[in-house]
Amino acid sequence: MDQTTPASSPMANAADKAASISDAGPAAPTTGTPAFSPLYQQIKGLILQSLQAGEWKPGDLIPSELELAGRFRVSQGTVRKAIDELSADNLLVRRQGKGTFVATHSEQQVQYRFLRLEPDSGNRASQGPAERQILDCRRLRAPAEVARMLGLRSGEPVFEVRRVLSFQGVPTILEDLWLPGDPFKGLSSETLANHQGAMYALFESQFGVRMVRANEKLKAVAADAESAQTLGVAPGFPLLSVERVAYTYNDTPMEYRRGLYRTDHHHYHNELS
Amino acid sequence: MDQTTPASSPMANAADKAASISDAGPAAPTTGTPAFSPLYQQIKGLILQSLQAGEWKPGDLIPSELELAGRFRVSQGTVRKAIDELSADNLLVRRQGKGTFVATHSEQQVQYRFLRLEPDSGNRASQGPAERQILDCRRLRAPAEVARMLGLRSGEPVFEVRRVLSFQGVPTILEDLWLPGDPFKGLSSETLANHQGAMYALFESQFGVRMVRANEKLKAVAADAESAQTLGVAPGFPLLSVERVAYTYNDTPMEYRRGLYRTDHHHYHNELS
DNA sequence: CAGTGGTCTAGACCACACT
DNA sequence: GTGTGGTCTAGACCACTGC
């Protein structure tokens, strides 16, 4: 970043840098919308790139604000604002006195960040940990709908996993999920079965895939014969259907999931604001 | 706020003010946890008080940051951080060049902020506006569960409303809702029926009650005979049960609502992060 | 043009964690 | 004590809105 004159005022300096990142020409914005982007947004983008590139892995301590400020040639306040937003997006976690860390699904604290099913009485702690059972895991060519949801071409290899989650011995969730074959090369029933804790923690540690956000579509459906048997309910029993697409950095879809939840002793919790 | 010496350094000054707001005594914190609260949090609290007191009503322009900074004797940056958080909580809306406004449910933009049901194909705009039908509105003594949810004593007066929402002529949502009698004095079927737009907009304009956040519990249930007839489905048809408690400023519960959603052509949308 | 929110900087001090 | 993030201030300039 060329700095000709050390700048008379702070902002003139900052404007130079912003221009040097977004624009190429010396001046004269020809576009109707000059696409002005604040410096801190550009810094945010640079940090995001490092996260995507795996320069800092989940759980890692990233450089201090002052160090990043030096690296990017901006003030600490600007780095702070960038980290503020990344922290609000759950990509980074700040800990006063210690530093800023890359968020991870492995912390006990956020083990079930994406599982919104809760017992009607008591809390998650009181019902004990979920019991996981892998029913199936196979590699196959993506059916049309799965391919569409994962942004793949029909027929590209994917992994298909079927599993059951039970609480206090009661089978409660039956899920099918599909993962793109390339990033998850080597996935097997054994890998899944041998792992304790949330599945997304395994994806992080074994495949370097961090799920960042997800969209869900919920419907009420009647249990078919097979699902009913697996979940221990009568056919036709009302089940909560949860269809999820989960994304990693960059809004790349990395998982398509279809779940059937028993809601006779649990409910799906949601907070609106 | 007493300021003896104009302060040698900025922060010493700020610390004085913080102490003058939270503490009463001159010094010597006796409690084990001094309950340190940042200045901007205190400012946030003061702004919140003005909102609760109705000093600024939904849609109103509030004083500029500079003016508030002067009023509270803090810097603009501190007011800014307070407003940042209130804005993130959807209590205020900033508009560059114009000012900061009290958020409202009346804007077309956020008409359906709390309604998460979406058509399976197309979007909300394509299906046209919801058709609202009030089936019943009566004043009665709160049943035990309703009282519990609203933080009232059993038997205190509440309003009970039953309504149906239809999309493109298809009855899709059947809802019962309960409102505390005192704040909603004068509510009637006519009031509700004559109003166009979201119900929460009516609550704002007619009763000065602004809903700020809500918790929902979702379950899949089978339609009983009455619900089935109203919604035009067969008894036993799977419906999405949505139980909601909505809160105004101050986390005071102001509405308890139970809805049954048809999800054969719609789904409940949720974003996880 | 003035007024508003939005961005950026520089520097000070506080609260917290480790050593 | 040192280093980290957290808070606060003061001042400058940018981008947008409306007179």
- Tell me which of B75, B102, B129 is where a domain ends: B102
Contact A238 B261 (CB under 8 A): no
Residue B110: inside a domain = no
List CB contacts (< 8 A) between B220 and chain A: 220-221, 238-241, 261, 263
What's the full length of chain B, in residues? 273
Can you read off the two tokens belonging to residue B180? Answer: 């505390």
Q: Quick check: is A85 in a domain?
A: yes
Q: Is residue A107 part of a domain?
A: no
CATH assignment of the domain containing A163: 3.40.1410.10
pLDDT score at A262: 98
**What's the whole-model pTM score?**
0.89
pLDDT by residue for chain A (273 residues), tens only, comes to 333 333 334 433 443 444 344 333 333 334 445 568 999 999 999 999 999 999 999 999 999 999 999 999 999 999 999 999 999 999 999 999 999 999 999 987 788 899 999 999 988 889 989 999 999 999 999 999 999 999 999 999 999 999 999 999 999 999 999 999 999 999 999 999 999 889 999 999 999 999 999 999 999 999 999 999 999 999 999 999 999 999 999 899 999 999 999 999 999 999 999
> Is A259 in the same domain as A135?
yes
Report chain B residues touching chain A, CB-CB < 8 A.
88-90, 113-114, 116, 212-222, 236, 238-241, 243-244, 261, 263, 267-273
Among B25-34, B76-85, B148-157, B231-240, whose mean pLDDT is lowest? Answer: B25-34
Q: What is the 3-state secondary structure (H, E, C) of chain A?
A: CCCCCCCCCHHHHHHHHHHHHHCCCCCCCCCCCCCCCCHHHHHHHHHHHHHHHCCCCCCCEECCHHHHHHHHCCCHHHHHHHHHHHHHCCCEEEECCCEEEECCCCCHHHCCCCCCEEECCCCCCCCCCCEEEEEEEEEEECCHHHHHHHCCCCCCEEEEEEEEEEECCEEEEEEEEEEECCCCCCCCHHHHHHCCCCHHHHHHHHHCCCCCEEEEEEEEEECCHHHHHHHCCCCCCEEEEEEEEEEEHHHEEEEEEEEEECCCCEEEEEEEC
Domain with residue A13: its CATH number is 1.10.10.10
Query: pLDDT at position A125, please?
Result: 86
Q: A197: domain range? A: 117-268
Lowest mean pLDDT: which of A175-184, B27-36, B53-62? B27-36
Q: What is the distance in angstroms between the Cα of A87 and the nearest Cα belonging to chain B?
A: 12
In a shared domain, residues B204 and B143: yes
Q: Is residue B273 part of a domain?
A: no
Q: How far apart are CA A106 and CA A129, in angstroms?
A: 15
CA distances from B181 to A168, B138, B144, B158, B231 (A): 42, 10, 15, 4, 29
Q: Say yes or no: B78 and B139 in one domain.
A: no
Q: Are residues A180 and A248 in the same domain?
A: yes
B96 and B133 assigned to the same domain: no
Token representation of residue B240: 């999405």
Specify if B166 maps to a domain: yes
Q: Are residues B262 and B157 in the same domain?
A: yes
In this structure, are A51 and A150 located in the same domain? no
Domain end: B67, B102, B137, which one? B102
Residue B11 has pLDDT above 50, yes or no: no
Q: Do A268 and B214 count as a contact with CB atoms less than 8 A apart?
A: no
Residue B109 lies in a domain: no
Average confidence (pLDDT) over B111-131: 92
User: CB distance A263–B213 less than 8 Å?
Assistant: no
Q: What is the pLDDT of residue A95?
A: 98
pLDDT tens for A34-58 read 568 999 999 999 999 999 999 999 9
CB pair distance less than 8 Å for B270 and A270: yes
Mean pLDDT for chain B overall = 89
Q: Are A123 and A88 in the same domain?
A: no
Mean pLDDT confidence for B49-73: 96
CB pairs under 8 A between A and B: 103
Instruction: Find chain B residues with C-beta within 8 A of A222's C-beta.
Output: 238
Q: Give B85 to chain A, closest Cα distance, Å.
A: 12
Instruction: Please tell me whether residues A121 and A94 are part of one structural domain.
Output: no
How confident is the model at residue B196, as a pLDDT?
A: 86
End position of a domain, from candidates B74, B102, B130: B102
Locate B185 and state its tokens.
Answer: 């004095």
Tokens 């640079």 found at: A46
Q: What is the mean pLDDT of residues B176-193?
A: 97
Strand C nucleotides below 7 A of a protein CB? 3-18
With a 7 Å cutoff on the CB, does A95 touch strand C? yes
Cβ-count burial B198-219 (b if 16+ within 10 Å, e if not): bbbbbbbbebebbbbbbebbbb
Instruction: List the single residue in B with minimal CA-CA distance to A268.
Output: B218
Distance CA A28, CA A114 (A): 47
Our count of domains for chain B comes to: 2
B107 within some domain? no
Determine the average pLDDT of the residues in B233-249: 98
* pLDDT for the residue numbered A21: 40
Task: Decide if A259 is inside a domain.
Answer: yes
pLDDT of residue B110: 83
In the prediction, which pLDDT does A109 show?
79
Does A128 share its domain with A209?
A: yes
Same domain, yes or no, for A98 and A58? Answer: yes
- Same domain? For A95 and A182 the reply is no
Under the banding of pLDDT at 50, 70 and 90, the label for residue B69 is very high
